[in-house]
Amino acid sequence: MALVLNEEQRLLKDTAKDFLSSTMPVSELRALRDSGDTHGYKPDHWQAMCELGWSGIVFPEEFGGLDFGYLGLGAIFEQTGRTLAASPLLSTVVLSASLIQLAASEQQKQELLPAIISGELTLALALEEGHHHAPTAIQTQAEKTADGYILNGRKSVVLDASSADKLVVIARTNKDSNGSEGLSAFLVNSQVKGITQHSKQWVDSRSASEIIFENVQLSDADLLGEADQIWPALNIALDRSRICLAAEMLGGALECFERTVAYLKERDQFGQKIGSFQALQHRAAILFTELELAKSVVLDALSAIDDKRPDLPQLASLAKARLNDVFEKVTSEAVQMHGGIGVTDELEIGFFLKRSRVATQLFGNSGFHRDRYATLCGY
């Protein structure tokens, strides 16, 4: 397919741009940071996004969704990257709700997806247990009992957990298994007895939590789908999340680049605009070409989700690795080309730099995805 958006997708992108620019500019993230609120976002902003239909954009109409596809959702994520808009769109809709759509029973889908789409229910995926992305390194155990399961373990990085109504917890239900085998997903009330949560505000002003589960009682109804069989669905949900995060990172990189070019055109040094200096022109040209390549990579990956292409895992790793590198390079160069003011809190460029450093580590850094890409290609 052509790597361009159609008319409806472009209209959605423009609508998202107008809403986010007026309602959730970077100054809103600054206010969130200064408040020290570990909630991670403003609930009224999330409700407004739900009313625009963004929470249901990729889900079938039978659940109250719009069935508009991931190219449309990716256009929204690109715009959230431009304003650094904080919301549970990634943690609830792409990570958790994708897993429900792919693996849950029909009854569970009918109960959960409409509530997610309406904004009544927010979720957080409790997966990671270490300092680096390792989705199959799961030590958390869910032991089968006569009444259900007993959950014990620790999760180190759970995005938006402090504001989530429920947690989607990945646990090992077969204690003799390892790797991707023997893993299951459970829907757990975040306020249930036996859960201890430590939330903190990250350097990018977003919220994440460490969660400890101690003898948490679960019923059979809390199991999402079949026991021991969650990995295939989880793998797809993670790839969707990597691609949507890459789309957000693309938006952040584009915004950062455009702000930097505008600054080069207005800053005077030695009696002339610094944008006339050939060395800076060369550096800006390199960034431009990197961003153009990144656009194609992200669009191709988003279309792979919609088309259910078999090369989705490869494209997810390609997109994430590429945008990790590009976002880090663009933000670093932006700070350098702004000079001393680039490292001050007065300028918003620093917010993009901080977001790039966190987003680069989420769902796998460049090393993780280069290794994964090579493995998937048979090397």
Distance from chain centroid for Cα 189: 22
Domain boundaries, the chain: 7-120, 124-228, 232-376
Helix (H) or strand (E) holding 64: none
Share of the chain above pLDDT 70, in %: 99
Dihedral pair phi/psi, residue 168, rounded to 5°: -100, 105
pLDDT of the residue at 1: 55
The stretch 330-343 carries a mean pLDDT of 91
Domain 7-120 is in which class?
mainly alpha
Is the torsion defined by CA of 355, 361, 367, 369 positive or negative?
A: negative
pLDDT greater than 60 at residue 162: yes
SS (H, E, C) 83-133: HCCCCCHHHHHHHHHHHHHHHCCHHHHHHHHHHHHHCCCCEEEECECCCCC
Choices 3.40.50.920, 3.30.1330.10, 1.20.1070.10, 1.20.140.10: CATH for 232-376: 1.20.140.10
pLDDT digit string, tens, across residues 34-78:
998 888 899 999 999 999 999 999 999 999 999 999 999 999 999
CB-neighbour burial class of residue 370 (10 A; exposed 0-12, middle 13-18, buried 19+)? middle
Residues 290-323 pLDDT 10s:
999 999 999 999 999 999 999 999 999 999 999 9
Residue 2 confidence (pLDDT) above 70: no
User: 340 falls in which pLDDT band (50, 70, 90)?
Assistant: confident
H or E stretch at 284: helix 278-306
**Least confident window among 17-21, 181-185, 201-205, 369-373:** 201-205
Q: Given pLDDT bands bounded at 50, 70 and 90, which one contains residue 111?
A: very high
> In the predicted model, what is the mean pLDDT of the chain?
95
- Picking from 351, 158, 341, 122, the residue whose alpha carbon sits closest to that of residue 256 is 351
Confidence of residue 184 (pLDDT cuts 50, 70, 90): very high
Map residue 202 onto helix, strand or coil: coil
pTM, rounded to two decimals:
0.97
341-373: pLDDT as tens digits: 888 888 999 999 999 999 999 999 999 999 999
Over residues 237-265, the pLDDT tens digits come to 999 999 999 999 999 999 999 999 999 99
Specify the pairing of strand 195-201 against strand 207-218.
Answer: antiparallel
Helix-strand-coil split of the chain, %, nearest 5: 55, 15, 30
CATH homologous superfamily for 124-228?
A: Butyryl-CoA Dehydrogenase, subunit A, domain 2 (2.40.110.10)
